[in-house]
Structure 1
């Protein structure tokens, strides 16, 4: 008995350490054993994938590039394309908006994902629909849990460029597996809720529209040069609030049978509050605006058959003042303020249920799933023109007039500001006076996008190791998949452009909607030359109460005596469509291994029927029109892996596409 007790004590004293080294090793082994070209990232622990969303996680994979918006990963490119397929636990996701490539990666928190698999070379059993590759996001499986899983992470992010203080991030997971007389049961739920506030400062200066040395302009020099064409100060602020929940139930009555149910819920609200300060009409002053400094722009050297060819250079405006000259141009340059309030509110749901089984050499998986995503994209974008009280109004009745500017592009800084010390320069008080702005543009949208996929799949495998061909063919796969996709889009919009002062109400008629614009444009890089005093229609107010803001602006137009009011948003006949797509797919695949070689060869056949409803517009009259079509493809696939040395692998992949039908 003493020996048995000692053995039990020794077993209890064993410490198993799992961490990032273990996760890296597991991912590497999984990649090595894959018969095709895949990349895998495994979490050190649930909730501990690097970065904040899946786009930023995928940036760590070789051959993948991401797109960032204000520093946040928002898009993923595999082999240079966005046309990729996204799955969660092997189940299709549908687009969070107008795309067809699956859920937006910015909508999925890395905290609920246990591993990420990117397939760059497909097999016959790989579901069709991607150009670059397939991304499969895996959540934790409860029957893989030993005992109890429980974790909670609390984080916060504070940015000196944000006005919202600390943004919280909360994530956690709770799971358990247990044995009963009815078999093994497991349940796990993981979730994440976070807020994020990011800001981008994007100045812009264009230099083109050549001023020649012999032009005769007052600005002409002894050399040709490029004058200032356009100046823009763009401030973008994005606020995210994201909720992700993933849950799984599993029941294994015995070692050869398992049932499961998965659900994934993703809710995101993304709001954009951007402002633009535009110096418009500056190119019209190129004939009198004399730069005080120039820089040389070299066009480089072009290689050629007869040797390199020098493309030369040109001088470009670097610093100076764009003045007001009433004799030459009675309303340019002018000052314009824009406020963009765009949101995307998305609710995505995935539900799947299925079974996995094994009977002798046969094994299989049967699954049904439904994926949906509904998005609305409300927007309320406005532009105000500044009416400089120090300059005369445009005699033609246009709702803009002259404002001088100063610019300095030294070191690529692209800085400019209102030249308040120049003739006609407005004061700070004048720039912030509601009576000195008028309404120029209003664009309102309430677009909707609804996507859904209903799918059924059955996959079977025969293990051929013990068969007569087992020395070469290891297994044979075959399966069938059906899916029905629906996609509805409806553009619900209204817009009005007010160009005449007689139609444009002044800001004192809607002063309750006006707020000072962001004054921290210099915080990003310490610049001193920027526009920090201006008025905007408050993005917070129009986002919270767009109907009230619209009523206020229309009341101002009526009080002003304008002839054009702003309509309520309505469905755009040319922007509506409703598509239904049904697909049947079957495949067969042989997997082989012999010596240093392993791989697979197979073929997938896909047949699709499409029905599309839209509007045909003739002479302004919209007639609902239904278009149908069908097509089918034969998709052969071949993958080969050779391992001539222990740590060396050579991979080859080939795929084709043959069509026998079309629209």
Structure 2
């Protein structure tokens, strides 16, 4: 994939690494023939610790160790994890956020071996690693095979985040800290990070305090098809229930009308700035009053405020004009397997859009997240052969999300017949907007080209160049939510030792997790005349100028003209033509998304009186109680070669209490005890409350066996049965309805329904098999090869049925049943593959080259899911890449450290369109990311460093079935960090 980048910055970063790799210390003495003691630190020391952990582990484990206090190898935890064999990550605004192990996201995350509750894991097992400052951690373990004593939670694996222990520090006080500034290749705002560490150890008592504070603004540009999942072939035999659906016609010239042109409802270019303010703090206390007792207390705090602000120019079909695409170059893909008989599926990468509507979009989505995790632990040695521990965990987490949206028309509205009505008098919603007199309907001609490195959309000369052309036509705040969760854990563990390496471990654990999520929209009151001239008051979520007060033709419409010239006087308008590396048609006017950060204040400034209206279909409560008991035997011996083994059983009883709510598709709203009409997407009142109680028992046998073939070689075998509970949303979310506005009916009609949750679904369960070979040829060197297989019992899929007697938003039933898709368990499958890892320090090389080293790994992951593509081929599991590669070249000598890291991930399957059952499969194209860093130890106390992330400015493409059929593209920036680290 081609990328554009700032050559000067890339050259600087690469040059720094090369210089560090080849430079000698000009003041160093010549090497002596005698062997001197070498003290390893930094990169090599961290790799050595990681190798030791893997070698001594009782199961299949890979690790990352901090290079120094407060210094993991990469910017984020997820970025560091992508270097581990078998790990694939997803990015948010260019930073690593979520993790797959061996192709699956069903991965649990622990903190120091126990449950960890973060704002990103309130409704899921895995957190968003953007929440967690990496400076708080000393390392991360990835457990790919579990022991019986390993807390269950990950089908594919478990990620254990580790903090430092005070009594592991040197005696006395230890202080460390860092300060850094960060610049992006597209953003103008400098980022900053400050972190501090203080630790004390007097042999019997120790304490650690860590704090981290960072601010960053990250750029993310998106081009192409704008609204995900709304893909469709728009000309098909058999009209569907869509307003304005066009009859079939001959597209490919074969003299029949059995043709379907792939397209979507909207195309555009957007820029998004993600402003992140991340704070983390931790404290750890360790006390050993005598040789028998150890007391531990840990507090782990995270806080994230994130502001995603977006502006974009989007051309759309007014959600109904399906004849708006005219292909310039087209390819006939033939007839899909299982598709409509004789229906040719046609794609085009160059086409004209005769668009009825062009909008200047503004969005502000804000995340407010915080969490506190408390651990109290006592370890006691009852006798020489019996030890025990007791542990209590308490955690609280909140995640509050708001979304605020504003759509301004650059077109007049006449192109698709959208008008406002005041006292029975009609006018176009944006009468001063753009109109094309050369087109019979006044549509704007947009030339679209999605065949190059970046999609481009060319508008007519001078289009949108005057503020008088713009008017705010629609604004709303929807799918806001308040998520809250608490976690309490009480556990006791014991180990009875019979002889060296022979012991029996056992324990009991009780946990309680409570989740509450409330989804809400904002709705404002409007008083207008209905078609009969009667004054009517109604609350509306979508404050659309063209929406009728009672949903009937002839109503006065809500909203009011809001020309940009007026909003500019309020300080709401700015201009930008910055859409990254893609060609732009110039600057456009937008509402500044920063003024939209407070949805209530913004909406009230335009339409006073907004209230929060609960969206019951997306609100729920869930309580999960688990009782876990395990027993595990550990023993060793000699069976021709020395071996170690552990066998055990974990029993888990899971008690679930799920409360789902149902809301009406048509609505009223309660205001101060009065029932008032609600229109324009306002959520309906609660009409149902269903409580589901479940009691599941799982028995999970687990076995791990390792043979020391030689002093440096190991062979491992393992079998584990694993379990991952479903995300809360999978169990708790209810049914939502998709509606489209019909200008002919002057109301929103219901076109389909979808339930994103099902309280009766079973958890993920799998049988995991591992065999691996490991050769440790020196303290940092390792060559490993592993085979794995996961037999997954069931997936989460969907089932399709029909819902009948569903009214449109004016209360009238017009459809003969609507499509209803609900999540459900479907038959499982197999995920299997192999991993190869190699790591070595080339200290046998002469002179300055002896500081070189490398780490290489490759993972092959093959899977089968439940979907089929256009040709009937079975598709893999979602989000799994078959091939992934990591390659790191590093250097460390004479105070210099340098590293270049390359990460490759092959294509991954995203899914099939739920909206129209398109026969094509949606994929994300392969990606290659390059990071680099260099540092120099000024003296024993200070280190200066430079780091570059995504220095080639890699971007991510998605495509529909064929690589030349681009769906959309996300462009992330390169980021460069200069910092100073100190330790005393």
Does TM-score exceed 0.5, indicating one fold? yes
Q: Report SS of the residue matched to 2:80.
A: helix
Among 644, 648, 659, the alignment partner of 1:598 is 644
In structure 1, distance between residues paired with 2:317 and 2:662: 39
In structure 1, distance between residues paired with 2:718 and 2:156: 14
In structure 1, distance between residues paired with 2:464 and 2:151: 64
Whether contact under 8 Å (1:251, 1:259) holds in the other structure is yes
Whether contact under 8 Å (2:224, 2:450) holds in the other structure is no
In structure 2, distance between residues paired with 1:264 and 1:490: 26
Alignment correspondent of 2:601? 548
Structure-2 change in CA distance of 1:398 and 1:637 (3 Å): farther
Alignment correspondent of 1:306? none
Cα distance, 1:166 vs. partner?
1.2
Consecutive unaligned residues of structure 2, counting only runs of 5 or more, are 1-35, 226-230, 238-246, 338-343, 420-425, 436-442, 523-540, 548-556, 665-683, 725-759, 763-984
Where do residues 251-266 of structure 1 align in structure 2 (5 Å cutoff)? 251-266=287-302
The alignment status of 1:585 with 2:585, answered yes or no, reads no
Q: Report SS of the residue matched to 2:583.
A: coil
Cα distance, 1:276 vs. partner?
2.8
In structure 2, distance between residues paired with 1:629 and 1:56: 38
Whether contact under 8 Å (2:349, 2:451) holds in the other structure is no
Alignment correspondent of 2:91? 68
Cα distance, 1:315 vs. partner?
7.4
The alignment status of 1:190 with 2:210, answered yes or no, reads yes
Where do residues 28-107 of structure 1 align in structure 2 (5 Å cutoff)? 28-97=51-120, 98-107=122-131
Whether contact under 8 Å (1:50, 1:110) holds in the other structure is no
Q: TM-score, normalised by structure 2?
A: 0.56
Where do residues 619-630 of structure 1 align in structure 2 (5 Å cutoff)? 621-622=686-687, 624-630=689-695
In structure 2, distance between residues paired with 1:357 and 1:127: 21
Q: Report SS of the residue matched to 2:607.
A: helix
Alignment correspondent of 1:559? none
Whether contact under 8 Å (1:415, 1:529) holds in the other structure is yes
Structure-2 change in CA distance of 1:407 and 1:586 (3 Å): closer
Among 677, 692, 697, the alignment partner of 1:632 is 697
Cα distance, 1:644 vs. partner?
2.0
In structure 2, distance between residues paired with 1:392 and 1:265: 52
Q: Aligned residue pairs: how many? A: 597
Structure having the higher helix fraction is: 1
Cα distance, 1:548 vs. partner?
2.7
Structure-2 change in CA distance of 1:285 and 1:322 (3 Å): farther
Which protein has greater RCO, CA pairs closer than 8 Å, 6+ apart?
2
Q: Report SS of the residue matched to 1:161.
A: coil
Q: TM-score, normalised by structure 1?
A: 0.81
The alignment status of 1:479 with 2:507, answered yes or no, reads yes
Consecutive unaligned residues of structure 1, counting only runs of 5 or more, are 1-12, 303-311, 324-331, 467-472, 556-565
Q: Deviations over 1:316-350 (max 9, x none)?
A: 3526x546xxxxxxxx4321122221111111001
Q: Deviations over 1:369-412 (max 9, x none)?
A: 10121111122122222234998976896647633323333424
Where do residues 375-390 of structure 1 align in structure 2 (5 Å cutoff)? 375-388=399-412
In structure 1, distance between residues paired with 2:318 and 2:416: 18
Among 549, 558, 561, the alignment partner of 1:506 is 561
Alignment correspondent of 1:563? none
| CA radius of gyration, larger in | 1
Among 307, 320, 325, the alignment partner of 1:271 is 307
Q: How well do the aligned residues superpose, as a CA RMSD in angstroms? A: 3.7
Cα distance, 1:123 vs. partner?
1.0
Where do residues 128-147 of structure 1 align in structure 2 (5 Å cutoff)? 128-147=152-171
Alignment correspondent of 2:391? 367
Structure-2 change in CA distance of 1:38 and 1:583 (3 Å): same
The alignment status of 1:250 with 2:270, answered yes or no, reads no
In structure 2, distance between residues paired with 1:284 and 1:301: 25
Where do residues 233-244 of structure 1 align in structure 2 (5 Å cutoff)? 233-244=269-280
In structure 1, distance between residues paired with 2:761 and 2:560: 55
Whether contact under 8 Å (2:476, 2:603) holds in the other structure is no
Cα distance, 1:285 vs. partner?
8.7
Among 332, 335, 339, the alignment partner of 2:358 is 335
The alignment status of 1:161 with 2:214, answered yes or no, reads no
Q: Report SS of the residue matched to 2:288.
A: strand
Cα distance, 1:588 vs. partner?
0.6
Q: Deviations over 1:583-627 (max 9, x none)?
A: 221111001222332121001112232333343568955455544
Whether contact under 8 Å (2:356, 2:415) holds in the other structure is no
The alignment status of 1:574 with 2:617, answered yes or no, reads yes
Q: Deviations over 1:277-319 (max 9, x none)?
A: 211129999979766x6376889999xxxxxxxxx99773526
Among 465, 477, 496, the alignment partner of 1:428 is 465
Q: Deviations over 1:252-283 (max 9, x none)?
A: 11233211111100011111111232111299
The alignment status of 1:528 with 2:583, answered yes or no, reads yes
Q: Report SS of the residue matched to 1:111.
A: helix
